Amino acid sequence: MKRISILFVCMGNICRSPLAEGIFRHVAGEEGLGKAFHIGSAGLGGWHQGELPDRRSITTAGAHGIDITGQRARKILPEDFDDFDLILAMDRSNIAELRRRSTHADNIHLFGDFALGTGEDIPDPYYGDREDFEFVYARLFSGCNTLVERLGTVSGSWSGKTSSVR
């Protein structure tokens, strides 16, 4: 069985994308599908390279029984565009920058489109408060549940093409 590789991407890889990575890993594990996926997260910039996720992301995830303290921020690399089957950007500015950097964009999608079906941006809670982080958590949790359900059913026959799971 081919493992489906998913990379969640936001601006600095300390708020949204580490939450998404942690939530997805948790939900997949709860469904017994942890081994079906290779999950990661990255940021467009390397400002926080090697750092823990934002303390508010850690606190929010922890309040829901998810530990993201093992994650470290990293900048997206050119090889990520080939190495990951699915790259999910948190907002439209992230997706525009990812597509600008890639020679092929068939595996790059907006999280709000691909996971939620709403086309919404996942707002950056960095300058917000606890409620902003909780809102982001709720949207990511909803989308990650949908992703695990949808991708878990095709992981054994995954072609590496995102059109096969739409």
How far CA 78 is from CA of 64, 72, 81, 98, 104, in Å, comes to 33, 18, 6, 10, 11
Does residue 162 belong to any structural domain of this protein?
no
Domain count, the chain: 1
Confidence of residue 158 (pLDDT cuts 50, 70, 90): very low
Q: Which residues participate in catalysis according to the annotation? A: 10, 16, 124
pLDDT in tens, 4-34: 999 999 999 999 999 999 999 999 999 999 9
CA 51, CA 144: separation in Å to the nearest integer? 24
pLDDT the model gives residue 162: 52
Q: Please report, for the domain that includes residue 52, its CATH number.
A: 3.40.50.2300
Does residue 158 belong to any structural domain of this protein?
no
pLDDT in tens, 30-57: 999 999 999 999 999 999 999 999 999 9
pLDDT of 126 > 50? The answer is yes
